[in-house]
Structure 1
Amino acid sequence: MTTFIFDVLRDLQENHRNLSELTFVLPSKRAGLFLKHQLHKVCQQTIFAPEIISIEEFVEELSGLKTVSNTELLFEFYNTYLQLSKKEEADSFEVFTKWAQILLQDFNEIDRYHIPQKKIFDYLIDIKEIEHHHWSLEENQTEFIKNYLAFWNKLHSYYNHFSEALKAKSIGYQGLLYREAADSITNYIENNSDKQHVFLGFNALNTCEETIIQALLKHNLADIYWDIDAKFFNNTYHDASLFTRQHKKNWTYFKENDFKWITNNYTIEKNISTFAIPKNIGQAKYIGSLLKQLQQDNPDLENTAVVLGDEDLLIPVLNSIPDGINALNITMGFPLKSIPLAWLFESLFYLHKASSITFYYKDVINIISHQFIRPLFYINETDYASKLIETIDANNIIYLTTSRLKEIATESKTIIDLLFSNWDESIETALKNCSELIIQIKNHLDQDKDANLLSLEYLYRFNELFNELDNLNSKYKHINDVSTLFGIYKELLSSETLDFQGEPLKGLQVMGMLESRVLDFETVIISSVNEGVLPSGKSNNSFIPFDLKIENKLPTYKEKDAVYTYHFYRLLQRAKNVYILYNTEADVLTGGEKSRFITQLELEGIHNINHQILTPKVPVIKPSEQTVEKTEQLIKDIKAVAEKGFSPSSLTSYIRNPIDFYYQKILKIKEHDDVEETVAANTLGTVVHNTLEDFYKPLEGSFISAEIIKNLKNKIDERVTFHFKNEYKEGDITKGKNLIIYEIAKRFVSNFLDFEIKDLKAGNEIKIVAIEADNKVEITDIPELNFPVKLVGKVDRVDEYNGVIRIIDYKTGRVDQNQVEIINWEDLTSDYKKYSKSFQVLTYAYMMHLTNEIKLPVEAGIISFKNLSAGVLKFAKKDKPGYGAKKDVLITNETLYNFKNELKNLILEICNPNIPFTEKDV
């Protein structure tokens, strides 16, 4: 396969040009590397390498200025802005950066296209004046409109002052370099009258580039080689040749000299396939599959390029590259914003943006749990990060201060200070904290350098980034708060990358569309060929209106689309195998619609295009119930639980889902107690239970009166508050939902006491028998088991109501009467939702009967604080379903006999080695 670079070198050689004495100027440095590699193919003898430079380097040389970063330009521009603005009216640096970015882009375009500055700014002011008269009904201008128009009037002043200030420092933005270079070309020609230049691979040229190249051509100091196919060039509607047609038509040089070259490579037979694939990740995975197929005929994937239309696909594509590729080159850097350290510093800036002495617990936990921070909390064999997290969870701490953090992690004061202290004291302190944090992380990683090489590389790049931030802050003094620092940090971060080390001339090449300029590959895979990506479509990030751009021959979205059209088709010109992928799903604002480039390929009818619609293979995974077979060890564990005692809640847990019982009672796995930002239902229940225990425990064994209960009402506030502090720890109950729940707890207790007073005033006698009575009893009549089985449980309340013993369980949730009634005994152990409440109260009654603490018959039931008007919801055995069925509310020997049989069957099932724990669909 021939390449454009090789064809150029061969043409120069055939025309007996001395390659060593030429200066090659190319669109990119990368193209220069390939050109240098091709030299040996045309040279018959050893020669000195020619000078090979990019157009940006050439322009720097001509202009005598150095390009500086976009971030530094913002700082320099802010100097200009402050000098030309009244102090009291000037925007803060943070606000300034929002509009200055756009204005800098406009300055850049105006200079690159060598537009007379005053002309375009005056035109712009006139447009704004006319707009004002159209949309303002006020004859006299308001203060807002005056300020608005004053801004446009100042643009020319901003430009003049800014460009002069930059030139005085011998620096500039790209456009200023181009304008200065174009203005200096005459001097350059006079001083380099025998220096020969070769320009190759260019397409869209700005006015300054055209001026420079045409001047050199006019003085016979240059040759220029274009790379355009006849199929595009001869089609006046084809955007791939939009610029080359203009150059051939408008440049006087081509009236007398040949136009090199219009080639005929595109019409040569090619294998072109398009793949419609859902989602970006789908494309990345399929690129991996394609490369694996291509490896069968080309193991090292020589002369193969993966061109990413959307450069965000880089990481997924790299993760999809198959094994066995010995040589790989990635022209794009790994974006620093994708590195875990970026997230760490973003979290820190976010935390300190709002100047506050307290920090939200989730933000604190996120930071101390970070992979680079957590090891710094491991001191003297103590994991203080875990200690902090556990203390926050256990004490329900929602907001923390630095002093509280130091109090918990006593030996981690240094790292706590770096992360959480004094960031708002000054920008210098914030930056110093970041730099010191990087050193602390480095000291830890240095303990095992070989295992942490990549992490140390990340750290080095972030150290450079913060050094740059520090330099900018020291030099310009425009950063006044952490929020502004955060904005500049993100601006720098967005353009910083970590460069890959690879084989630049061998094997598989992974690149963006712009890196493919001048290069040719036999096999090309292009991803994200969607409208809005390739080409990028309409965007107007400019203060200059569309019609004004047309008037001054500035590029619009049409020209930008034509640039990408050229790059796309140039990749196809000499390729033999082309694989085009596009996303069928709409992702955010792009995707879903295939690019016009694909439609154009189809309509041309030159190549047979193989279309495929791909979908990922989704395996059908049949849901299967989890089962745990009962091994000898598991049986031993069950016996240990049985001997310790089954509680009513553990037995109902088994009824609901045996797997839950296995996790909680056998494996002893407890649910993690998260911080309760809002009081949880079980916390509310505990507070109400404990308050009522405080009130009624001293009354055990005595009859109660309305007067006694009325006196208890005075203690509600104090006891509820005490128990909230005891259960909710350092959580805040003074505002929001928690205050409402706190008031609800007091209302529940107050309503219950009112209910009790009303009952007593109605003439009913109530004697408190036991409060929170602990029960532990062994079941002796299960001969099938050769080991002891016990029941344990705590009964909320046992009283004597008009001579009848009642066993009562409190529920803060809503319970209705039908939930404590049964028809068939076997339902007790099969339907958790309906009968778990009945099962619990019957278990309490059965335990107390076995210990002879009660004499039958008795009643058992539930008091629901959300259904208090219903009174005690008594357990009842019904003869048949439906309204009006006979109910038996007394628990007799017969009742407990029937219950005991169901209980026995349940325990036998739990202990049966042949019945596994099987998950239920709950």
Structure 2
Amino acid sequence: MNGFLEEVLDKILSQNSSLSNHIFILPSKRAGTFLKNSIAKKATKTEFAPEIWSIETFIEKISGLSYASNLEQLFSLYNTYLKSKPKEIETFYSFSKWGQTLLQDFNEIDRYLIDTKKLFSNLSAIQEISHWSPEAPKTQLMEDYLLFWNNLDVIYKDFNASLLNKNKGHQGLVYRTACSKLKSYLKENKNKTFVFLGFNALNESESIIIQQILEQHSSDIFWDIDNSFLKDPVHDAGLFLRDHKKNWSHFNSNDFKGVSNYYSESKKIEIIGTPKNISQAKYVGNLLKEISKTSNNAIKNTAVILADESLLNPILNSIPEEINSVNITMGYSLEKTPLASFFQLFFELYIKRNTKGWFYSNLLDFLSHPTTTSFLNSKEENNSNLISNAIKNKNWSYITPEKIISVAKDKDCISTVFQELNFTPLSFTKRCLLIISKLKDIYTEQSNSLALEYLYRFNSLFNQLNTLLVEHHYMNDLKSLLSLYNELLSSETLDFRGDPIEGLQIMGMLESRNLDFETVIITSVNEGILPSGKSNNSFIPFDLKIAHGLPTYKEKDAVYTYHFYRILQRAKNVYLIYNTEPDVLEGGEKSRLITQLLTDENKIGDITEKIATPNVVPSLKEDEIIEKDVDLMSLIKNHATNGFSPTSLSNYIRNPIDFYKRNLLKIDDLLAVEETVAANTFGTIVHDTLEDLYTPFVGKTLEVGLLHEAKKNIEALVKKHFAKTYAEGDIKYGKNLIAYNVILRYIERFIHLEIKQVKQNTIKIIALEQNLKVSLNFPELDYPIVLKGKLDRIDEENGTLRIIDYKTGRVEPKNVKITNWEDCITDYSYSKAFQLLCYSVMFNAQNPISEIQAGIITFKNLNAGILKFNTPKGPKKSAEDSLINKETLDLFLVELKRLILEICNPNIPFKEKEV
């Protein structure tokens, strides 16, 4: 197909035998590449190629200045701000947040050649009015605030002067300078023919420069607009061009060139709604696969235009294998590379470090990063794993470099990354450059060319930071450095290499200027993305912008509208894809441009609409069932002969799948740092402390005096068991300190209540933490069944034997009461009663009893005393209900046998219960 550039080139070649003295000026470099290719194809003889410039490069040449980088501008502006001697000096970090907006305003003011004295005077007056109070004089805060706005003209002039002294400028300053130097430039190039191609919205500088060249020189301008938009007085796609045609004196005697009538031709336009970004990418992939089947050249004449450039990565991953050649006009953002997240974590490691060291979660995140593992690990040693495991095993909440060095093998690499000293911004960038240098050796040895490419770009980035920090000394903290690093990183891209003409074209909206394709796929055609919405990141109010001729969001919307319709002009197949999901961050509804298209009576017949959604197959959650094969039966047999514990049997009652995973497969929770004392750790400390307190009393009758003496040891014993059970976890702060004091309080209250009981009863300690085991012979099984467990306490109160279990969780009287014997092996809410009966069976096997009591002491409700197991034995309850005798045990053994036989039955699978 013949696109805009080819059509214009044919017209120029029909009037000129040679193009060597021509200078072509286009909106973008990308269009220049395609123009050069078209000239090469149409050339019939050898000659010098014409000069081809983007408008920005052309104006840079006129001005004699070079563009200052954004960071150079920001530092120069901060220097100028400091010289203005504000009453309250902002740090560079806080200044950078609003300094970018001020740079943007200065840039726009100069591009539109605004009278700055008048504008800043108006702006200062507006600020004063908004803070004016007729009743009272201005406060010092108000005076200081207004001083800044009154000094804005001085700051602007000094800032521009500081850049001009370096022969540099921001874009607006370069444009303003170019206007003043245009005459001398044209004298030097009086034999050149200037041709402007495909422009639309022009700022005041561009407008003046182009008009002056058109009036004074052999020159021409070709627009790229369809007649239907140009003639429509309200269509935004022709807004700027109608204005140029009306107001430029050049068109009083010259034709308005570049107007076409392609938009009215028949087209195939599909509007497709898909949920979320990934669905858009997948849909594009399917479209490209179908297009590639139509003809060999179909893909060469296809462009995928990304209104939201963050879709690049998913789109690349969705390109079908059938497409061999892809050209990407936008770079791959350096922010998305693995090294970017590595350095982000490295920054945060030192920014978030406090006097106690690094918090474990931040350090574990850093250690688990692939770049960290590459840096720290050698063929012999896995240092990152050694450190991670030490943190988890030793339960370090906060970690110092000394702790890391104590467990790691390669001290050199460790000391490079983990330092005790507090880095200055300059020393930190040097440390990053040292890490890059060592990573270079690692990646070179691995022949990892892609990682080396990333590394090269980050080396350049940190060298740039280093140069800026040496030149400017006012940055004194890592937080400011991180802000600066992110600012640099956001503008850095990795360029894709390849033939810019061949294959599928993937580009952003601005790269599509002047280019035409038969098939166009535009993604993210959502309100807030295309067009971008009413964002007004400026200190200049809307009304003031209108009064001084500065662009507002209305003009920006018209720019997007032009680009959108210009892409559609010559295209034959158009696919407009939008996100159907109402997400504020990604656009909540289809673009108004789609709605406008749907209201076009001339185009409605070409349009089809559809919503593309993946086939959703409902997945009904089915209960998990584990059949008992030979291997599983072997595991069950081993577990049965080693011993069922009351807890493991309770796990089965709760959910057989839990029993299968936890007790048979031994799948426990992953090893992790206990930032705060976990419930099981809490319980272990309480149990172990009580064991140590009561061990001297085993075989003795408790006395008030002995218990008072024991109270003195509580604090030392709790600390001892915290150190043993909580590893090297810190209990001096926060929730851990609260947990420590709660345990102290629990045990003190327990001893206090024990003293009250001892005063009224005779209590003798028989045993503590006694391990019990009993063999149960079931004829149905050809292997023995063992029941094992540990009794917290066995004592005797007024001659009655008692089995006591300590619980730090909540237990209620109903949990230890059995009304229906079958419930104890089917309903987990009776698990406490089940466990007490298991302990009673085991105790009876070793010490046959006539009667015994079993109960639970819950530390959540110590005042309730011992919650005794009981079961009704008649129509009326009596004191005997709490006694466990031979009859009780026989009744329980019937149910226990039924439970164990069910577990050991190969024909009954483990079936998931809803917990």
- Is residue 59–residue 177 contact of structure 1 (8 Å, CA) maintained in 2? yes
Q: Identity rate of aligned residues, in percent?
A: 50
**2:857 aligns with one of 850, 863, 870:** 863
In structure 1, what is the Cα distance between the partners aligned to 2:662 and 2:381?
29
1:333-372 superposed matches below 5 A? 333-354=331-352, 356-357=354-355, 358-372=357-371
| Greater Cα offset, 621-630 or 686-695 | 621-630
Deviations 1:287-319 (A, max 9, x none): 222222322214662211111111122122222
Paired residues, number: 911
Correspondence for 2:310: 312
In structure 2, what is the Cα distance between the partners aligned to 1:817 and 1:116?
85
Which AA in structure 2 matches 1:82? L
| Greater Cα offset, 749-758 or 484-493 | 749-758
- Is residue 387–residue 404 contact of structure 2 (8 Å, CA) maintained in 1? yes
Deviations 1:799-845 (A, max 9, x none): 1222221111111112122111212222221111x221111111111
Q: Residue 37 in 1 paired to residue 37 in 2? A: yes
| Greater Cα offset, 666-675 or 567-576 | 666-675
Q: Residue 269 in 1 paired to residue 266 in 2? A: yes
Correspondence for 2:842: 847
In structure 2, what is the Cα distance between the partners aligned to 1:880 and 1:735?
55
Correspondence for 1:405: 404
Shift of 1:635: 2.5
In structure 2, what is the Cα distance between the partners aligned to 1:163 and 1:111?
10
- Is residue 289–residue 322 contact of structure 2 (8 Å, CA) maintained in 1? no
In structure 2, what is the Cα distance between the partners aligned to 1:421 and 1:495?
30
In structure 2, what is the Cα distance between the partners aligned to 1:885 and 1:197?
112
In structure 2, what is the Cα distance between the partners aligned to 1:818 and 1:480?
65
- Alpha carbons of structure 1 residues 13 and 714: separation in structure 2 relative to 1, 3 Å: same
**1:537 aligns with one of 526, 533, 539:** 533
- Alpha carbons of structure 1 residues 760 and 129: separation in structure 2 relative to 1, 3 Å: closer
Structure 1 consecutive aligned stretches of length 4 or more whose deviation exceeds 6 Å: none
Alignment partner of 2:883: what SS? coil
Which AA in structure 1 matches 2:190? S
Correspondence for 2:277: 280
Deviations 1:171-193 (A, max 9, x none): 11111111111111110111111
In structure 2, what is the Cα distance between the partners aligned to 1:90 and 1:822?
75
Q: Residue 93 in 1 paired to residue 92 in 2? A: yes
Two-structure CA RMSD over aligned residues (Å): 2.0
In structure 2, what is the Cα distance between the partners aligned to 1:147 and 1:723?
60
- Is residue 352–residue 423 contact of structure 1 (8 Å, CA) maintained in 2? no
What's the TM-score, normalizing by structure 1?
0.95
- Alpha carbons of structure 1 residues 654 and 880: separation in structure 2 relative to 1, 3 Å: farther
Correspondence for 2:6: 6
- Alpha carbons of structure 1 residues 89 and 768: separation in structure 2 relative to 1, 3 Å: closer
Shift of 1:887: 6.7
**1:572 aligns with one of 568, 585, 606:** 568
In structure 2, what is the Cα distance between the partners aligned to 1:224 and 1:748?
89
- Is residue 401–residue 420 contact of structure 2 (8 Å, CA) maintained in 1? no
Q: Residue 77 in 1 paired to residue 71 in 2? A: no
- Alpha carbons of structure 1 residues 628 and 446: separation in structure 2 relative to 1, 3 Å: farther
In structure 2, what is the Cα distance between the partners aligned to 1:600 and 1:759?
86
**1:750 aligns with one of 748, 751, 757:** 748
In structure 2, what is the Cα distance between the partners aligned to 1:42 and 1:887?
111
- Alpha carbons of structure 1 residues 64 and 447: separation in structure 2 relative to 1, 3 Å: same
Correspondence for 1:890: 883
Alignment partner of 1:876: what SS? coil
In structure 2, what is the Cα distance between the partners aligned to 1:241 and 1:380?
65
Shift of 1:17: 4.6
1:403-552 superposed matches below 5 A? 403-409=402-408, 411-421=409-419, 424-449=422-447, 452-552=448-548
Shift of 1:798: 0.9
Which AA in structure 2 matches 1:38? S
Shift of 1:773: 0.5
- Is residue 424–residue 482 contact of structure 1 (8 Å, CA) maintained in 2? no
- Is residue 433–residue 459 contact of structure 2 (8 Å, CA) maintained in 1? yes
1:750-789 superposed matches below 5 A? 750-762=748-760, 764-779=761-776, 781-789=777-785
- Alpha carbons of structure 1 residues 803 and 512: separation in structure 2 relative to 1, 3 Å: same
Unaligned runs of 5+ in 2: none
1:7-406 superposed matches below 5 A? 7-85=7-85, 89-133=88-132, 136-137=133-134, 139-298=136-295, 301-354=299-352, 356-357=354-355, 358-379=357-378, 381-406=380-405
What's the TM-score, normalizing by structure 2?
0.96
- Alpha carbons of structure 1 residues 129 and 706: separation in structure 2 relative to 1, 3 Å: closer
Shift of 1:22: 1.4
- Is residue 794–residue 804 contact of structure 2 (8 Å, CA) maintained in 1? yes
Which AA in structure 2 matches 1:603? T
Which AA in structure 2 matches 1:863? I
Shift of 1:41: 4.2
In structure 1, what is the Cα distance between the partners aligned to 2:749 and 2:373?
49
- Is residue 774–residue 792 contact of structure 1 (8 Å, CA) maintained in 2? yes
Shift of 1:590: 5.1
In structure 2, what is the Cα distance between the partners aligned to 1:117 and 1:906?
89
In structure 1, what is the Cα distance between the partners aligned to 2:241 and 2:324?
39
In structure 1, what is the Cα distance between the partners aligned to 2:885 and 2:498?
85
- Is residue 23–residue 52 contact of structure 1 (8 Å, CA) maintained in 2? yes
Correspondence for 1:795: 791
In structure 2, what is the Cα distance between the partners aligned to 1:686 and 1:905?
32
Correspondence for 2:896: 903
Deviations 1:243-279 (A, max 9, x none): 1111111111111111102210110011111122222
**1:713 aligns with one of 708, 711, 714:** 711
Deviations 1:618-663 (A, max 9, x none): 2211212223333323322322222222211111112222222222
Correspondence for 1:919: 912
Alignment partner of 1:725: what SS? helix
1:539-618 superposed matches below 5 A? 539-589=535-585, 591-607=587-603, 608=605, 609-618=607-616
Deviations 1:559-584 (A, max 9, x none): 11111110000000000111112222
- Is residue 693–residue 714 contact of structure 2 (8 Å, CA) maintained in 1? no
Deviations 1:475-510 (A, max 9, x none): 223322111111100110111111122332122111
In structure 1, what is the Cα distance between the partners aligned to 2:366 and 2:739?
31
Alignment partner of 1:118: what SS? helix
- Is residue 849–residue 885 contact of structure 2 (8 Å, CA) maintained in 1? no
Shift of 1:202: 0.6
In structure 1, what is the Cα distance between the partners aligned to 2:631 and 2:253?
97
- Is residue 8–residue 258 contact of structure 2 (8 Å, CA) maintained in 1? no
Which AA in structure 2 matches 1:398? S
Shift of 1:589: 4.4
Correspondence for 1:874: 868
Which AA in structure 1 matches 2:864? A
- Is residue 878–residue 887 contact of structure 1 (8 Å, CA) maintained in 2? no
**2:677 aligns with one of 670, 676, 679:** 679
- Is residue 21–residue 191 contact of structure 2 (8 Å, CA) maintained in 1? no
Correspondence for 2:650: 652
Alignment partner of 2:787: what SS? strand
- Alpha carbons of structure 1 residues 758 and 484: separation in structure 2 relative to 1, 3 Å: same
In structure 2, what is the Cα distance between the partners aligned to 1:874 and 1:113?
88
Which AA in structure 1 matches 2:654? R
Which AA in structure 1 matches 2:411? K
